[in-house]
Amino acid sequence: MKLAISNWTFENTMDETNLFEAFAKLSSVQMTSPRSLEIIKESIDQRHKPRYVYTVHVDINENIACEALNKNNPGLHFRELSEKDLRGPVEKTRTIRDNPKKICVVGSGPAGMFAAHSLSMSGFDVTLLERGNDVPNRHKKVKALFSEGQLDSESNICFGEGGAGTFSDGKLTTRKNHPWIRWILSEFVRLGGPKEIIKAGKPHIGSDRLRALTIQFRKMLIENGVKVHFNQCVDDFKTEKSKIEKLCCGESEYNCSDGIVWASGHSARDSYQLLHNKEIPLEAKPFAVGVRIEHQQAWVNRWKNMAETNDLAADYSVVCNLDKDNSVYSFCMCPGGQIVCSSSHEGYHVVNGMSNYRRNSEFANAGLVAKVSLDDFGSESPFDGLNYQAEIEKKAYEASGGTYKAPAQRVSDFLIQEKSKTLLPSSYQPGLIPCNFWEILPEKVCHNLKKALHQFEEKSPGFAGGGAQLIGTETRTSSPIRIPRNKDGAIDKFENFYPCGEGAGYAGGIISAALDGLYIADCLKKKYYA
């Protein structure tokens, strides 16, 4: 019998041998020692004095009732592991098939890459189409954006090999609790990621290591027969009855009659327009907009009582629920990181945060965003939310004088609605332009941010103090559009079209996008090879 035990808390850090002994002392456990015990996750609970919290898998000879274990060991949670928990999502050895089904995957973000991986191992004939460059060439374009403010609208922080995650903070956390997450993390380790991410409570890989890993991932896909094409933007498709037969990228055409995994992310506005023109149903959905807030990392470390000698950078998360419809929260906090220009369209300015593995910059930044819903932007057209988002980005671009320097304002000036006369040093390249966010963001958003900043300052003095600065705008917290799919993972209009990942509204980060790619691959496996 295999058991999962979670929320198992100790004052000291434990290894597998110590946990073996602790297991034998649990109430209702009267048996010989386990056949094996594996630490699945170790996290540190900093709320009181530090405590170490474990999730483990234990393989035991006997069958014991989980109800008794749960009842007699309050605080711990016992669960019998199911077949689904134990099965990996991807075949260990590649299946070779005669006349394999042909699938096109659009977008090489985590959703597209994991879908392509799973499908190729199950014997599909997979073509992966990516509008941007491969990692090395994309990196050159991103460097030009940072140093000279030159944006390439096909290869940037959002577009190109690896998708939006490649130049990210590389936090590998998700709110989802799924048995495949561990498998995804172990694939990252196998391809060169740091070993500790498998067990870490808050796994982090950093943009530098993610770039290297993405290249290894592509090599693995090619070895497994995937045809990978860069600089191929799907700009049209040919349909016949209820199927899409061919995807078009300029002059090139790709046969996709058995399936399309559409994983184009949440920034490809032209791709949403293409789907709309082809009468694929889209829906507007709520998201959040605001700014990035930047502090000195040393201040965050002091706030979080991190010892001076500790070379880790402390993180934080803040939330302010103003009423049932309005809240402001920190988003995608990057300790020891850098604020970056994540624009993908000429004339529109948007920021996000990234960091390297060591998280050793002197700055800490986080999105500070207010929820916005259909009430704020309407729901007549599925593009209402996207247009609301684009309008803010356009104003931000204009406020920075039509450049990719970022609009910025000291928090103290934001609170009195005045443009800053001078700005604080910042991690943002290619530089900042003083602005007044009250002239860029919708009024309601500014009022909510202001109320929340007062509350955060009250609870954590300094948060909205002289060392805090706002840099904007943060508008792409999640997709403003959803592509509804049916129970088989496809859409009713075209039976071979499978919306996937963040752009379709089914993910909100690297791991959840990868999970959704695996889910869609499973849908295709069930359809053709069950």
Binding site for ligand FAD (CB under 6 A): 106-112, 129-132, 157-160, 163-165, 167-171, 233-234, 263-265, 268, 271, 332, 340, 342, 352-354, 501-503, 507-511, 513
Which one, 54 or 114, has the nearer CB to ligand FAD? 114
CB of 350 to ligand FAD, least distance (A): 9
CB of 497 to ligand FAD, least distance (A): 13
CB of 332 to ligand FAD, least distance (A): 5
Q: Is the Cα torsion angle 460, 465, 469, 474 positive or negative in sign?
A: positive
- Name 398's Cβ contacts closer than 8 Å, sequence gap at least 6: none
3-state class of 357 per DSSP?
Answer: coil
Mode of pairing for the β-strands spanning 469-474 and 406-410: antiparallel
- Whole-angstrom Cα distance, residue 194 to residue 67? 37
* Greatest Cα pair distance in the chain: 72
Return the structure tokens found at 527. 């359809």
CB of 193 to ligand FAD, least distance (A): 13
Which one, 107 or 407, has the nearer CB to ligand FAD? 107
Which one, 368 or 507, has the nearer CB to ligand FAD? 507
- Name 530's Cβ contacts closer than 8 Å, sequence gap at least 6: none
CB of 137 to ligand FAD, least distance (A): 13
Which one, 122 or 475, has the nearer CB to ligand FAD? 475
Task: Please report, to the nearest 10 degrees, the dihedral formed by the alpha carbons of residues 290, 177, 364, 412 taken in order.
Answer: 30
- Whole-angstrom Cα distance, residue 242 to residue 240? 6
Closest among 232, 239, 264 to 493, alpha carbons compared: 239
The gap from C-alpha 277 to its chain's centroid, in whole angstroms, comes to 28
CB of 156 to ligand FAD, least distance (A): 9
Which one, 261 or 470, has the nearer CB to ligand FAD? 261
CB of 314 to ligand FAD, least distance (A): 16
CB of 135 to ligand FAD, least distance (A): 11
Which one, 297 or 326, has the nearer CB to ligand FAD? 297
* Rg, the chain, Cα only: 24
Which one, 34 or 162, has the nearer CB to ligand FAD? 162
Return the structure tokens found at 425. 């040093």
- Whole-angstrom Cα distance, residue 69 to residue 76? 9
The gap from C-alpha 386 to its chain's centroid, in whole angstroms, comes to 19
CB of 355 to ligand FAD, least distance (A): 8
Closest among 58, 53, 54 to 20, alpha carbons compared: 58
One-letter identity of residue 380: E
Which one, 155 or 469, has the nearer CB to ligand FAD? 155
Return the structure tokens found at 438. 């009250």
Which one, 326 or 344, has the nearer CB to ligand FAD? 344
In the chain, DSSP finds a helix count (H) and a strand count (E) of: 14, 23
Which one, 360 or 412, has the nearer CB to ligand FAD? 360
Closest among 256, 235, 297, 200 to 511, alpha carbons compared: 200
In the block, tokens 């004339």 appear at 347
CB 163 within 8 A of CB 107: yes
Which one, 58 or 333, has the nearer CB to ligand FAD? 333
CB of 166 to ligand FAD, least distance (A): 8
The total number of residues written for the chain in this structure: 530
The phi, psi pair for 397, rounded to 5°, reads -65, -45
One-letter identity of residue 25: K
CB of 265 to ligand FAD, least distance (A): 2
DSSP state of 64: -
Return the structure tokens found at 202. 């808050």
Helix axes 135-148, 206-223, angle to 10 degrees: 150
Which one, 410 or 485, has the nearer CB to ligand FAD? 485
CB of 40 to ligand FAD, least distance (A): 19
Return the structure tokens found at 266. 């949440």
